[in-house]
Structures are given as structure tokens and as C-alpha cells.
Amino acid sequence: MRKSITITLLLLSVCFQVTQAQTKKSADWSTIDSLLEKVRADYQVAGFSVAVVHKDSLLYSKGYGYRNDEEKLPATPQTLYAIGSSTKAFTAGLVGKLFGDSLSLDDKITQHLPELRFQDGRESQVTVRDLMAHRTGLSRYDLSWYLFNTDARDSLLARVQYMKPTADLRSTWLYNNFMYLAQGMIAEKRTGKSWEDNIRTHFLKPLDMTQTNLGIADMSNNKNASRGYTVDDDKKIEYMPYYNINGMGPAGSINSSVVEMANWLKVWLNEGKYNNTQILPAKYVQEAMSSQMVIAAALPSTKQTDVHLKNYGLGWMIGSYRGHYQVEHGGNIDGFSASISFFPSDSLGIVVLTNQNGSEVPSVVRNLISDQLLGLAYVNWNRRGVQQDSAEMAIKPLEDDLKQVKGTKPSHLLADYVGQYHHPAYGQFEIRFENGVLKTHLATKEHHLEHYHYDTFALRELSTNKEKKQDDDEAQKITFHTGFDGDIKSAQLDLPESFEFTRKVSAKEVSPKDLEAYLGQYAVGNMKITITVKDNVIYMDVPGQKNYETIAQGNHNFKIKDLAGFAIRFELDESTGKASTLYAIQPNGTFAAKRIN
């Protein structure tokens, strides 16, 4: 959704540069400029920048609007934006360069990254090329890294083995960011250097990309950095904080400007060379921009008969744009959108970077510029996009949520839902109870849990200046499940894969007096159970079994750490101050063991 604002189109609000070089076909730059100014107004975008390359020359670069909407700092060709998944061509290119002629992209991944495992063992057949072309058969699982992020790449990679593949190997194109994480780690293992250092050494330095950086810390400290924005339901531009992609950097952490990304495109338009220096092997460039996997049928439509073909190369998407072979990749991350594209047969490249979240602006701008420079008949891409957006805005759900069951209550006290919740494919999150409210932290945002119905809660995002409340249909839900013992055992987040997160119960503090009271032997039938204490933790030794560690729950109750549904409870004799009975609570019943010493 976009916010409604009044925009004054002043020449002072933009920075403009056009070189004296000419395009392959004559270009009317003033027409292009007016078209793009209209895009900025129609899409309520804070700012964007564009650059156009022909062969090894920068033809045109300009900023529109603002990199900082609050302070009205202009967007320029040097403004830094997050390019999101446009990073992938760098990561794939790095692997292609490091492999060279001595190694093959068709090597099995077990040869280069044995740590990568799949749930069904398909790693024995998966190749490096499969990772690059998104054809492993594993779907996105993006919320695993987005909601439960970490800077530990090995930890992120280990989650893959718990993700269920949704298709056979090489049968379907399924976009997956984890496979680009894996490529970054292959480069790290091959060189002994971090992915970041490799990108700087092999690309940023030789391409004179001096301002381009690979993380939020550097982005935040750069005076040319853009802020990120979104557009709210009232069509107002709203600031959106940076998202720290952390360990998933190889899939999308580069921040750059259009003039520096133009240098990257020059490599692809000149057989891997920049200023006569071979940056990428020419053979790899040809492979990367050729079809490796079919994305979709993408047949010509009645609305646009000359836009068709949708395949994937190595870090690039391949298509036919109005009779011209197009290589392109977009990018989206919180507050930013990007499109990096080139037409190899026409020696033409276009970079569009914007500070609008999930925006159509890059593709609209790219198409408008392409049509002008390729001498194609005019198509009002701007109107098409705006009309589609207006149609989507016109469809609104009912105000009443008919799925919600009114008048219900949670099955437990709110404090009973507190704990760490874990799933091996996602990581973990914590539910806290503060000032009478359940809270949690997901991704970069703090949420409180608002009761929805039964044991389902809606996650309400909290911001620093106000409470943001989505409609119930928009708010993510979390449902808690109760175990046989009556305690909360798991939580199910409203994720596409619908996994349950197992609750890890935190131990309560037990006084030394109570610990002393539990020590001893207890008997039930012919079985003797011995209770010991080590480091203030109760252990239960059962003959013929292991010495079980317990987790204190308070009020003389203890969970058995490694046995779901098993617990013990002590009953104290007030006259002696010691426990007289140990109750073993199991799924098949509760058994009383009496103290024998």
C-alpha cells in the first residue's frame, strides 16, 4: 500500500548527470526524465536512482526524490541502497571465478561442502550448479532466517537438513536463499577467507566500487546511505528500519549505488572484463547468462504478446523482452527494492535502486527506459502498475473476522506460556511475561501477544512511537498446544510450513533446604529410585536406566529433562521436613514411591 503525499517536482531535488556518449539508438533523455518523475509521483516513492550503461560507457545516471525523506536530502547517483537478492549474481560469480577451469560446477556438493545435508539424503546427487540455479527441490523457508536470524552461517546451514523438500531434484524451479548461503560457504572453505573478504577482493576493489559495502554497520555510517521506507494504508511514506541479514549475507547483503553497480554491469557486457582486466572468466559469463532451469511456461499473453520466456541462469533470470534477450535480477529487503538488468545483444545495461519496500518502481522504470533506448513502441508501464495497485487496494476484507471464535479464554494462566520455543529448521524464540503481557521478539521487531481465541494469540507489532495494530486477518497467529501432563508443550506459528516449536522449560530456583529434603532412596514395588543433587540440580537414578537430570518447576515439581511427558513430584512430611513420597508421573499413569531411607 502507498501513502498519499503532495510532491513538488523541483530541479533542486535531484542530482543529474548525462555523459556526452550516445546510445546505440538515439535517446530522448528529457522524455525519459519526465516519465520517471511521473513514476515517482504516482508511486509515492521517497526516492530512487538510475544508471544506464552502453558497452563500457556510463550514459546516464540520476537520482529522483530523496534518500532521506524527513530531512529532504536528495537521492543522487552516489546514494547507497540495499540491493537485496541482486547480490546473488556476485555470490554465484565468486564461485564461478574460484572454480575456474580446474573444478566443475557439476561437482557434487559433498565434495565442496559436506556440511550441507538434506532431509532425504539427496545431497549425494546435488551439484554446485543445482544450488546456483535453484533446482534442488527445496522451497524457500525464508522465515527461518528472516524471523530467527543469526550471524552463525554454520548454524543456519544446519537447519536445511530439517526442511522437507517439496519436489524432486531438478524437477521444479524453487527459489531458495539457503542455497546461496551454501555457495558463500563454499567460497569461504576454498579460500580460507570470509565471503565478505572474497567479494571485496575479487569484485569491489578491482571494479572501483569503493563505497559499496556488505553490512548494516557500514551502511549506517555512510553519509550517502539512503534510509528505507514503506507506504502505509493511508498512502503516506513511512520510515522502515534496516534489516540486518547477518549470516545470510551471500544471499542478499550488498549495499551499493547505481554508478558503482554500473561498473558491475560493464563486466557482463564486455565478456567479463572491466577496463581491460578480466574480472570473471568469459566462459562463466556465457554460462551464467544462459538458461539453466525453466522457471515457468511464461507464454505470451494477450495483454503483452512480446514479453515471454522465464528461465534462470546462474544468479540471473532470463527472459525475452519485446524481441530482446534480457538478463535481470531483482532484489527486495526491508525498505528497499532493486532491479539490475542488461541486454547482451544490445550491449545495454540498466540499474534501478529505490528506497521503497516491495516496490514495482524498479521494474516499471527499467521497462520505460528499455523501450526508449531500444527504439520500441511506447507502453504505459507506469499506468499498468498503478492500475493494478489501485485494484488491489479496492479489494478490502470484511471488518468482522468470521474465523475468530468470540467469548473464549486461554486454557492456562498467561505465565504458563513463558519459555523458549525451538525447532531445528528455524531456530528458537522466547515468550516472556512482563507487566501482565506476553511478549516476544521476532526478526528485528518486538511483539506482544493478544488473545485471539482459545490458545491462539495474535502477534501485535510494537514500535517505539506507537502501537501498530494490524487487522486480525493480517496479524500473524501463534497457537499453543497442551501435553498429556497439562502443561504447554509446544507452539505453532502461522508459517507456510506450519511447524511446531517445542517448548523448553526454564528451571526454577530451588532452596538448599528443599534440595536436602528430596535426597534419599524411594521404593515402588521392587524398584528403588535414588535422588541425588549435583550443582543444585536434582538427578533421579533408576536401576537399569540412566541417571535422569530434572528441571525444577517450582512447588516440588520437576520435569525429566530428556523425556517428554515424564515428571516427578515430591510430597513433604512436615514433621520431619523431608520428602516422604516421590510421585513418578508418566504417560501410562502416576506411581507413588515411598521413602526408605
The number of CA neighbours under 13 Å toward the Cβ of 336 is 33
Per-residue confidence (pLDDT) for residue 562, from 0 to 100 = 84
Per-residue confidence (pLDDT) for residue 564, from 0 to 100 = 79
Q: Is there a domain that residue 486 lies in?
A: yes
The C-alpha cell that represents 530 in the structure block: 535414588
Look up residue 412 and give its amino acid. H
Same domain, 229 and 118: no
Does 27 have pLDDT greater than 80?
A: no
Q: Of 343, 359, 394, which residue sits at a domain end? A: 394
Does 17 have pLDDT greater than 80?
A: no
Same domain, 83 and 100: no
CA diameter of the chain = 101
The enclosing domain of 352 has a CATH number of 3.40.710.10
Does 389 have pLDDT greater than 90?
A: no
Does 479 have pLDDT greater than 50?
A: yes
Same domain, 344 and 237: yes
As a whole number of angstroms, the distance between CA 481 and CA 486 comes to: 10
Q: Is there a domain that residue 166 lies in?
A: yes
Q: Is there a domain that residue 571 lies in?
A: yes
Per-residue confidence (pLDDT) for residue 398, from 0 to 100 = 53
Q: Is there a domain that residue 321 lies in?
A: yes
Same domain, 255 and 364: yes
Residue range(s) defining the domain that contains residue 437: 414-504
Q: What is the pLDDT of residues 276-304, one digit of tens each?
A: 999 999 999 999 999 999 999 999 988 88
Residue 548: CB atoms within 10 Å? 18
As a whole number of angstroms, the distance between CA 81 and CA 227 comes to: 8
Q: Of 330, 361, 394, which residue sits at a domain end? A: 394
Q: What is the pLDDT of residues 415-444, one digit of tens each?
A: 899 999 999 999 999 999 999 999 999 888
Q: Which of 18-22, 559-563, 593-597 has the highest mean pLDDT?
A: 593-597
Same domain, 288 and 164: no
- The residue ranking higher by pLDDT, 25 or 173, is 173
Same domain, 185 and 135: yes
The rounded mean pLDDT for the chain is 90
As a whole number of angstroms, the distance between CA 300 and CA 475 comes to: 37
Does 508 have pLDDT greater than 60?
A: yes
Same domain, 164 and 203: no
Same domain, 349 and 271: yes
Q: How confident is the model at residue 233 (pLDDT cuts 50, 70, 90)?
A: confident
Same domain, 523 and 497: no
Determine which of 200-204, 326-330, 411-415 has the lowest per-residue pLDDT on average: 411-415
Angle at 249 between CA 430 and CA 157, to 5 degrees: 60
Residue 486: CB atoms within 10 Å? 10
Same domain, 257 and 279: yes
Residue pair 227/72 in contact by the 8 Å Cβ criterion: no
Same domain, 204 and 187: no
Per-residue confidence (pLDDT) for residue 554, from 0 to 100 = 86
Q: Is there a domain that residue 170 lies in?
A: yes
Reported pTM: 0.84
Q: Of 504, 524, 552, which residue sits at a domain end? A: 504
Q: Is there a domain that residue 351 lies in?
A: yes
In this structure, are strands 419-423 and 500-504 parallel, antiparallel, or unpaired?
antiparallel
Per-residue confidence (pLDDT) for residue 482, from 0 to 100 = 94
Q: How confident is the model at residue 7 (pLDDT cuts 50, 70, 90)?
A: very low
Same domain, 557 and 431: no
Angle at 55 between CA 49 and CA 56, to 5 degrees: 75
The C-alpha cell that represents 146 in the structure block: 528472516
As a whole number of angstroms, the distance between CA 105 and CA 98 comes to: 11
- For the chain, the domain total comes to 4
